[in-house]
Structure 1
Amino acid sequence: MSDLMDTVLIERTRALIPDDTVEQKRMFGGTCFMVNGNMLVCVSKRGLMARVGADQEEEALSKPHASQCRPTGRPMPGFIRIEPDGIETDDDLKDWVEMARAYVCALPPKAAKPKKAKAGKAAQ
């Protein structure tokens, strides 16, 4: 996926998540969409990573172009990786975003972590 296609996928994904509570953050080599501090989906050159939860994992894995997310070689339960071919259409992308939202929006909000002081700046 080219940088242009990556940008288009980010825009397509953002259009499906109009909430003001959604934050975009660079993580996992891509752009993650967070709801109340919890990761919803992550867009990257490799496709989409969706957080669907353990209860929906079996259903998610039965879909075309989906596999268990294994960024370090070990499985991440409840996280699904979708190849670019699996999110080509807006309907396919919407299905994944809605599946992730069903799980993530039911999670309690994460408390914001305190910002660390930048190196080289002395505390005053």
Structure 2
Amino acid sequence: MAPNVQLVERVRSLMKAEAPEEKSMFGGLAFLIAGHMTVAVGDGGLLARIDPDADWPTRDPRAGEAMPGRPMRNWRTFDVDADTEDLPELVAHAVQQVRALPPKA
């Protein structure tokens, strides 16, 4: 399963100022900041780090469990593509969550 190439390019563009490290992970491409995975793009859309106390992902019809059957409070998948209007906000939210974490050594 290859990542959605157009979505990868759009996320790469949105994260350019953050100078993320890119790694192949989970059959897709992950973007890491200070050693923390921020978002990943796969063929099914976007995996994003979210605020575990935010309730908006539970109301977003595009959001799904990151790993069905294994609760992960701070990760959600989003069925989006490169043309999704609020993609910049989703990526910015994930970046904000990572910026609140200490850098990995």
Please indicate, yes or no, whether the TM-score normalized by the shorter chain is above 0.5: yes
**Distance in structure 1 (CA, Å) of the matches to 2:73 and 2:11:** 23
Contact 2:49–2:97, Cα closer than 8 Å, also in 1 = yes
1:12-23 equivalences under 5 Å are: 12-19=10-17, 21-23=19-21
What SS does the corresponding residue of 1:54 show, helix, strand or coil? Answer: coil
Fraction of identical pairs, as percent: 37
Contact 2:48–2:94, Cα closer than 8 Å, also in 1 = yes
Contact 2:29–2:42, Cα closer than 8 Å, also in 1 = yes
Q: What TM-score does the superposition give when structure 1 sets the normalisation length?
A: 0.75
* Distance verdict in 2 for CA 1:88–1:77, change over 3 Å: same
Gaps of 5+ in 1: 112-124
Q: Describe the superposition over 1:27-75 as per-residue Cα deviations: whole angstroms up to 9, x where unpaired.
A: 111100000000110000011100113122x22221231122115x311
Contact 2:10–2:82, Cα closer than 8 Å, also in 1 = no
Aligned-residue Cα RMSD (Å) equals: 2.0
The one-letter code sitting in structure 2 at the alignment partner of 1:64 is P
Runs of 4 or more above 3 Å deviation: none
Structure showing greater radius of gyration is 1
1:15-94 equivalences under 5 Å are: 15-19=13-17, 21-56=19-54, 58-70=55-67, 73-84=69-80, 87-94=81-88
| Larger RCO, structures 1/2 (Cα 8 Å, 6+ apart) | 2
Gaps of 5+ in 2: none
